[in-house]
Amino acid sequence: MQWILQEFEDAFKLAAALDALGKEYTMHKAVPFVGELSPAPVVVDPACVLLFGQYSLWRTAEREGWSPGVFRIAPFVEQVAWKPYLLNGGGRFVTLRDVPSSVEPGDELYFVRPVEDSKEMAGAVMSSDEIRAMAGRVLALKPKEIIEGSLCHDTMLMLCEPVVILKEWRIWIVGGRIVTWSLYKDGRRVVYRHEIETEALYFAGEMARLNPGYSPAYVMDVCRTEDGYRIIETNSINAAGFYAADLSMLVAELERLGNQPEGK
């Protein structure tokens, strides 16, 4: 497998794991939101390439015909099998252009994030007034003035009632199986430890089994609330932070998957 990494903090963690395993890789800079790599990589076998960095690298992978390249994912909120288990499954969807007419002024709090895993903005708890102000700043721009990959007039947002989260974990799923995991938040404290509650691990495994065709490889964030375990969101495995994951295990499983014809 040929590993192509974009230069960013977590890529150096992956590079260290690849070094330890004797795997070759190259480092590149990338144009934000566009996915162009510099210098352009020299690809030996287009059928055996993996890219790690910003999610927009999928554009380069698809244009060049690299496989598995970047594993694409569909919006997790649209997955019927997962809807009963979503942390924010009862939210509503509003395009950014409709925020002024759909979100009443005030200090009511919502958890807000784009429906697509586009990284246009990170999920956050915001008041109605803050959401309206954010939308106003974007809508004040003409579409041609908006940088590709940023919030735009047509961005679909999910607005949900905030929920108290007790612990949060990131879980890496490859070929339908859990490969590694990391705690990344304990209450309000950000902590990166390679640990997980047995019940959380079982819950994530059940969620992967419920939706086997979702993606050959992806990241699932799960949490424990006062009402039990829930899915927070999913992310592209090629663009998600590693926290305290076992990267040796991740590399081995991705190589195994990538070298199978069905791993595409």
247-258 helix and 9-20 helix, angle to the nearest 10 degrees: 80
Q: Locate 96 and state its tokens.
A: 């950014």
Instruction: Look at strands 2-6 and 49-52 and give their pairing.
Output: parallel
Q: How many CB atoms lie within 10 A of CB 93?
A: 14
Confidence of residue 180 (pLDDT cuts 50, 70, 90): very high
**Which residues are registered as beta bridge partners of 178?**
173
Query: Which value, to the nearest 10 degrees, does the dihedral of the CA atoms of residues 157, 158, 161, 165 take?
Result: -110
Dihedral pair phi/psi, residue 177, rounded to 5°: -120, 145
Place of tokens 């919030």: 151
- What's the CA gap between 58 and 44, in Å, rounded? 18
Q: How many CB atoms lie within 10 A of CB 124?
A: 13
Q: How many CB atoms lie within 10 A of CB 248?
A: 13
Mean pLDDT score of the chain: 92
247 in Cβ contact with 17 (< 8 Å): yes
pTM of the full structure:
0.83
Residues 31-51 pLDDT 10s: 876 778 999 999 999 999 999
Residues 191-230 pLDDT 10s: 999 999 999 999 999 999 999 999 999 999 999 999 999 9
**Left (φ > 0), alpha (ψ -120 to 50) or beta: where does 245 sit?**
beta
